[in-house]
Structure 1
Amino acid sequence: MVSDAGLVPVLRLAEAAGLYDLLDDQLSVDSANATAKATSVVGGMLAGADSIDDLDLLRHGGMPKLFSGVRSPSTLGAFLRSFTHGHVQQLDAVGGDLLTGLTARVPGLIAGAENVEGFACIDLDDTIREVHGYAKQAAAYGYTGVRGLNIQLATISTPLAAPVIARARLRKGSTASAKGAGRLLAQAISTARTAGVKSRILCRADSAYYGWAFVGTAIRAKTWFSVTARMTKTVTAAIGGINEDAWQPIRYPHAIWEEVEQRWISDAEVAEVPFTAFTGRRKAENVTCRLVVRRVKRLQRLASDGTEQGELFATYRHHAFITNSTLEMVEADQRHRDHAIVEQTIAELKDNALAHLPSGKYSANAAWVSLAVIAFNLARAAAVAADLAKARWATLRRKIIRVAGRIASTSRRHDLHLPIQWPWAYNWETLHAVATAPPNTTT
């Protein structure tokens, strides 16, 4: 018996997308059978492992009959600790190339991006993964006030497809958010193009990335950018110069949570003005663009007796971003607010393989992050192939991967018997069909 029979089609999909060949060709870490060990870590993450000890999930029951080369947690821990910074970069490159293989095998993975008239977004963000203990290398207090390590990542998504991860890296806990943003964005754009994204790309980020490094990279790559503006003197002066009759009311189809006001809002006003960003830099790096501003009326405080006083002057909270897109103003605001989708990816990672950074050695944790990215993209591709495109990683594990199976050996072959009337049998079979189908040779 096995409890994770869904690993069979998922890892067959990985094989069909070229994961094993990529590891053989590009990973030069000084460890015997590195491909088998790296795949063991990825398989354990897909099954729910969030620590090195949890990788023993792959050695229970009849699993050795389904997969050969599965290593013990102690062996895999030593394997991760043998990584250097260069080996982690190799693993990162493998993840980028695997995404290309997955999009070829599962065309709907980045749906809509294959059309020149389509639309795709690359989102950059970072998060702090809290760690404990004094032995964690590079752990420090970051902008959240929590001691941990910083993870920076770039995702690719479209209006029709959930995000996949283009690139990710582990950094010291006290690293500034925008450090290395230009290089990461350039890698993400290159990965997106290689993965078949032919549509227009919009690069989005929050105010932590408001700077020439991010915007300049987007301009050089001939993509659009949309970055939340910091409230500098030039930005506030531009907002103050907007005529009152220029504000256009908008109403959101779904209410939005206003963090500062601690309330839900369903309406706001939008306006835009021409703007030149980064005027403090040399002239060649001044960026002429659009400053789009959304304002939300502040809640009026109640009087001491609990009544609402008459309003003399309305006060507003302003949210501004710069962009070079040609989108209509209201749509530009909507697309920029959709940057929050990257938080979904971060939440899924923290709910799965990145619930912990399991090693005390920095390079081992960096390798763990790169392998988690590979597992995440595999899970996303498997969900699309299984006709569960909206399923998150935890949902895929519950419906497809964690299904009990009984192995029967007949005529020198293994037959895998799955539960009768399994609710998601159709999805499991659909995934298996995609994973075992001949390569798509159409262009």
Structure 2
Amino acid sequence: MLVSHSPAAVAVSFDEPNLVSAAGLVPVMRLAEAAGLQTLADEHLSVPTDKGANAGLKLAALVAGMVAGADSIDDMALLRHGGMKKLFKVCYAPSTLGSFLRAFAFGHVRQLDAVAARFLANLAARAPLLGNPEEGDFVFVDVDDTIVEVHGYAKQGSGYGYSGVRGLNALLATATTKDTAPVVLAQRLRKGAANSSRGASRLVADALSALRRTGTAGRVLVRADSAFYGHPAVSAARAAGAEVSVTVRLDPAVRRAVSSIPAEAWTTIEYTDAVFDEAAGAWVSRAEVAEVPFTAFASRKKAERVSGRLVVRRIPELNPKVPDGQGTLFEIHRHHAFFTTVSAEDLGTVAADATHRAHAVIEQVHADLKDSALAHLPSGKFAANSAWLVAAVMAFNLARAAGTLAGTAFARARTGTIRRKLVSVPARIASSARKIRLRLPETWPWQAAWEKLFTTAHAPPATA
């Protein structure tokens, strides 16, 4: 595009008191209010009074700033420009919000976890976040961790974890169905050098409890990678009535099980570079799957063993270490195995493999959060950063609910897309007859979706 005027014909001045840059915060925060964000925080948070006064308003301000794109305490200043004070009752200074976060202790973070779980349940009652799965459908709960990079030694708990990057470890549990995008059920911040499975059993229990609060029907399948293949996490899922699908390490017991699979049991599957042969009605592929009955944790006492299936996917080894025709099973193929308690009648071998591979959807949530509020962990205090993570998750779920209410085009959109098209919309505030009118840009491409969100969020309460 070309500027239509010469440089001398253009002047600027920051002096318009009736402009806002994020008019979409009006319906989004109205939705948060209807879902009880402020009320829940006031009920459950006991942050010391000198810093925690008006905890609900301060938490709402943090969430609003994150929805609008803030990824640091200083960025919260975007809530105090132009006519924002005409649209919102209180617009806190960044320093006030920073002091509020630094007042958190571990117990307060756990209180905030409770607020987040109840807030999600209230959002789910107002927006179809998880759709309407039928009784036989699965609700997938994915568990995984990610390293949030930090710099310097001032961050409490920072260290070098499995990625070799200095940071803090964020453990998340998400929920999704075949027709919906993920929402975050539970979260926990841990020190950077923490083992991936540390505290996983408690997180799984919290996540499944939060899922029950939403009232979502359907069977629950907990998916995770090999770092979470252990009795504590698996037993926590089973105790809550969920099935599991967890990648396993190729330990001696698993190797023996894989070696026992007969050659004729392997089925070719759709995989990278696969071609479908219409004449044969099968995939021509280098990847194959098979399964064998398997008992997990066989070394533990009988009551703690878990029976299920070991589903194995194998692909040819690209760099064989032995001459052709002389290799053993594990030298000519690479094997990827996972343990599942779902019966073969509910998910056949091929379907179970495809379902387990879809666990990678949680990586999109990690990337989404790091592209917004989780781009930084703003404080030197570990508890403050833990509270920041919980607020970031609430902002993520709130943006997801707003996108769902805006229509199908935004139901599965990234929060960055929702922010750019529905939240960061400039508007001029006009007043007439004691009524505020937001004048938004003419021919805004996503006007219909914005108006649908606004109308839904500002609908009158339902009749008792």
User: Under TM normalisation by the shorter chain, which class is it?
Assistant: over 0.9
* Runs of at least 5 residues in structure 1 that lack an aligned partner in the other structure: 256-264, 303-308
**1:440 to partner: Cα distance:** 5.7
46-55 or 138-147, which deviates more? 138-147
1:60-139, aligned counterparts within 5 Å?
Answer: 60-106=81-127, 108-113=128-133, 115-139=134-158
SS of alignment partner, residue 322 of structure 1: strand
Q: Which residue of structure 2 lines up, in the alignment, with residue 414 of structure 1?
A: 436
Q: Which residue of structure 1 lines up, in the alignment, with residue 277 of structure 2?
A: none
Q: Which residue of structure 2 lines up, in the alignment, with residue 262 of structure 1?
A: none
131-140 or 150-159, which deviates more? 131-140
1:388-403, aligned counterparts within 5 Å?
Answer: 388-403=410-425
Q: Deviations over 1:6-53 (max 9, x none)?
A: 111110111111112211211221221111111111111011100000
Cα distance change, pair 20–286 in 1 and its aligned pair in 2 (3 A): same
The structure whose Rg is larger is: 2
* Runs of at least 5 residues in structure 2 that lack an aligned partner in the other structure: 1-18, 275-283
Q: Deviations over 1:37-77 (max 9, x none)?
A: 11111111011100000000111111111111110011111
The answer to whether residue 353 in structure 2 is matched with residue 336 in structure 1 is no
Q: Which residue of structure 1 lines up, in the alignment, with residue 318 of structure 2?
A: 299
Q: Which residue of structure 1 lines up, in the alignment, with residue 380 of structure 2?
A: 360
One of 278, 297, 301 as aligned partner of 1:282 = 301
Q: Deviations over 1:321-348 (max 9, x none)?
A: 0001021111111110000000000000
Q: Which residue of structure 2 lines up, in the alignment, with residue 383 of structure 1?
A: 403
**1:434 to partner: Cα distance:** 1.8
Once residues 342 and 371 of structure 2 are traced to their aligned partners in structure 1, the CA distance between those partners, rounded to angstroms, is 34
Once residues 208 and 119 of structure 1 are traced to their aligned partners in structure 2, the CA distance between those partners, rounded to angstroms, is 23
Asked whether the 8 Å contact 2:135–2:217 carries over to 1, the reply is yes
One-letter amino acid of the counterpart of residue 329, structure 1: T
Q: Which residue of structure 1 lines up, in the alignment, with residue 46 of structure 2?
A: 28
The answer to whether residue 194 in structure 2 is matched with residue 172 in structure 1 is no
One-letter amino acid of the counterpart of residue 182, structure 1: S
1:213-362, aligned counterparts within 5 Å?
Answer: 213-252=232-271, 267-299=286-318, 315-326=332-343, 327-362=347-382
Once residues 410 and 132 of structure 1 are traced to their aligned partners in structure 2, the CA distance between those partners, rounded to angstroms, is 51
Cα distance change, pair 54–102 in 1 and its aligned pair in 2 (3 A): same
**1:253 to partner: Cα distance:** 8.4
Q: Which residue of structure 2 lines up, in the alignment, with residue 426 of structure 1?
A: 448
Once residues 181 and 285 of structure 2 are traced to their aligned partners in structure 1, the CA distance between those partners, rounded to angstroms, is 25
Cα distance change, pair 192–254 in 1 and its aligned pair in 2 (3 A): farther
One-letter amino acid of the counterpart of residue 296, structure 1: I
Once residues 169 and 156 of structure 1 are traced to their aligned partners in structure 2, the CA distance between those partners, rounded to angstroms, is 16
Asked whether the 8 Å contact 2:42–2:54 carries over to 1, the reply is no
Count of aligned pairs: 426
Once residues 333 and 63 of structure 1 are traced to their aligned partners in structure 2, the CA distance between those partners, rounded to angstroms, is 51
One-letter amino acid of the counterpart of residue 189, structure 2: L
The answer to whether residue 177 in structure 2 is matched with residue 158 in structure 1 is yes
% same residue? 55
Asked whether the 8 Å contact 1:36–1:70 carries over to 2, the reply is no
Once residues 160 and 271 of structure 2 are traced to their aligned partners in structure 1, the CA distance between those partners, rounded to angstroms, is 37
One-letter amino acid of the counterpart of residue 120, structure 2: L
One-letter amino acid of the counterpart of residue 416, structure 2: A
Once residues 290 and 320 of structure 2 are traced to their aligned partners in structure 1, the CA distance between those partners, rounded to angstroms, is 26
**1:423 to partner: Cα distance:** 0.3
**1:118 to partner: Cα distance:** 2.3
SS of alignment partner, residue 110 of structure 1: coil
Cα distance change, pair 413–438 in 1 and its aligned pair in 2 (3 A): closer
**1:267 to partner: Cα distance:** 4.7
**1:310 to partner: Cα distance:** 6.9
Give the TM-score, by structure 2 length.
0.88
Cα distance change, pair 439–186 in 1 and its aligned pair in 2 (3 A): farther
The answer to whether residue 64 in structure 2 is matched with residue 43 in structure 1 is yes
One-letter amino acid of the counterpart of residue 13, structure 1: L
SS of alignment partner, residue 270 of structure 2: strand
SS of alignment partner, residue 251 of structure 1: coil
Once residues 297 and 274 of structure 1 are traced to their aligned partners in structure 2, the CA distance between those partners, rounded to angstroms, is 24
Q: Deviations over 1:93-127 (max 9, x none)?
A: 11110111111101x210133x3222200010001
Cα distance change, pair 310–286 in 1 and its aligned pair in 2 (3 A): closer
Asked whether the 8 Å contact 2:71–2:374 carries over to 1, the reply is yes
Once residues 135 and 459 of structure 2 are traced to their aligned partners in structure 1, the CA distance between those partners, rounded to angstroms, is 28
Once residues 339 and 267 of structure 1 are traced to their aligned partners in structure 2, the CA distance between those partners, rounded to angstroms, is 22
- RMSD, aligned α-carbons: 1.9
**1:412 to partner: Cα distance:** 2.0
**1:140 to partner: Cα distance:** 1.3
One-letter amino acid of the counterpart of residue 47, structure 1: A
Once residues 109 and 340 of structure 1 are traced to their aligned partners in structure 2, the CA distance between those partners, rounded to angstroms, is 19
Q: Which residue of structure 1 lines up, in the alignment, with residue 28 of structure 2?
A: 10
Asked whether the 8 Å contact 2:268–2:285 carries over to 1, the reply is no
Asked whether the 8 Å contact 2:132–2:217 carries over to 1, the reply is no
Once residues 259 and 396 of structure 2 are traced to their aligned partners in structure 1, the CA distance between those partners, rounded to angstroms, is 44
One of 365, 370, 389 as aligned partner of 1:369 = 389
One-letter amino acid of the counterpart of residue 423, structure 2: I
**1:146 to partner: Cα distance:** 1.4
Cα distance change, pair 198–254 in 1 and its aligned pair in 2 (3 A): farther
Asked whether the 8 Å contact 2:139–2:219 carries over to 1, the reply is yes
Asked whether the 8 Å contact 1:105–1:439 carries over to 2, the reply is no
Q: Deviations over 1:381-414 (max 9, x none)?
A: 1111111112101000110011110001112221
Once residues 121 and 270 of structure 1 are traced to their aligned partners in structure 2, the CA distance between those partners, rounded to angstroms, is 22
Once residues 164 and 267 of structure 1 are traced to their aligned partners in structure 2, the CA distance between those partners, rounded to angstroms, is 35
Asked whether the 8 Å contact 2:101–2:388 carries over to 1, the reply is yes
List structure 1 runs of 4+ shifted beyond 3 angstroms.
252-255, 309-314, 438-442
